[in-house]
């Protein structure tokens, strides 16, 4: 049976609108943490239905709460709802949970089907287009140095990031089968302005270049593994 994770185990008008959004985001994260803790207590008491409800409320409030996604998946698996469990494990994995990939490979082959493949199985890696020129996104399974260079330049030119981001910024991402950037910021140094920094970072990743998806047997597919890019400010 899959285990769950607990705290002890895993440690102007526009300006006003931005501040209000940040306050709402912070409150949602706080409330999500309370539901998460309640879910852990319910699980410990073997009340799986209540645990599922609490973890579901947590991810509804904070869709980036990877531990809640993982624990929700564990409970769904215990309740024999493998389809929902795989969806939740997938969410946790895309948020860079270090254990979720193992359970996806163990329980979710049918869920992934032919549309999600490991990088070792694909025929052609994703590409990107910048200033009307196409480049491979990866060189020998490492991010293209040109891609890193133009992204770093754009990120460091951002007024929001200049103002609020300090230290290391780490982004985990993948390109979906439709050629869309999908990612999340797994580490930032913005403290109470974290949401502003994360939104701006992901906007730049999404808009700076145009992406094309990986191919397997001439079909667009999604690569199962995430890639990470650390940038120092």
Structure tokens at 7: 């705290």
Closest CA to 102 of 73, 135, 123, 137: 73
Q: Tens-of-pLDDT digits for all 233 residues of the chain?
A: 666 665 433 435 544 444 445 456 568 888 999 999 999 999 999 999 999 999 999 999 999 899 999 999 999 999 999 999 999 999 999 999 989 999 999 999 999 998 999 999 999 999 999 999 999 999 988 999 999 999 999 999 999 999 999 999 999 999 999 999 999 999 898 888 888 999 999 999 999 999 999 999 999 999 999 999 999 98
Domain 13-112 sits in CATH 1.10.10.10: no
Segments making up each domain of the chain, as ranges = 13-112, 127-232
| pTM listed for this prediction | 0.81
- DSSP labels, 141-179: TEE-HHHHHHHHHHHHH-HHHHHH--SEEEEEEEE-TTS
């Amino acid at each position: 049976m899959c285990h769950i994770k607990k705290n002890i185990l895993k440690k102007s008008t526009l300006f006003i609108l931005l501040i209000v959004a940040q306050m709402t985001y912070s409150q949602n994260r706080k409330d999500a943490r309370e539901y998460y803790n309640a879910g852990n207590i319910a699980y410990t008491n073997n009340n799986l239905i209540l645990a599922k409800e609490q973890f579901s409320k947590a991810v509804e409030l904070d869709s980036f709460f990877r531990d809640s996604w993982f624990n929700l998946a564990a409970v769904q698996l215990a309740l024999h709802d493998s389809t929902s469990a795989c969806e939740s494990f997938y969410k946790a994995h895309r948020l860079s949970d270090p254990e979720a990939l193992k359970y996806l490979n163990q329980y979710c082959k049918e869920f992934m089907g032919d549309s999600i493949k490991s990088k070792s199985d694909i025929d052609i890696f994703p590409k990107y287009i910048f200033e009307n020129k196409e480049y491979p996104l990866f060189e020998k399974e490492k991010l293209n140095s040109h891609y890193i260079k133009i992204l770093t330049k754009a990120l460091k030119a951002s007024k929001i990031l200049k103002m609020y981001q300090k230290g290391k910024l780490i982004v985990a991402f993948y390109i979906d089968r439709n050629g869309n950037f999908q990612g999340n910021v797994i580490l930032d140094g913005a403290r109470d302005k974290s949401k502003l920094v994360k939104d701006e970072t992901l906007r730049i990743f999404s808009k700076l270049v145009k992406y094309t998806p990986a191919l397997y047997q001439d079909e667009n597919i999604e690569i199962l593994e995430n890639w990470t890019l650390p940038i120092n400010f």
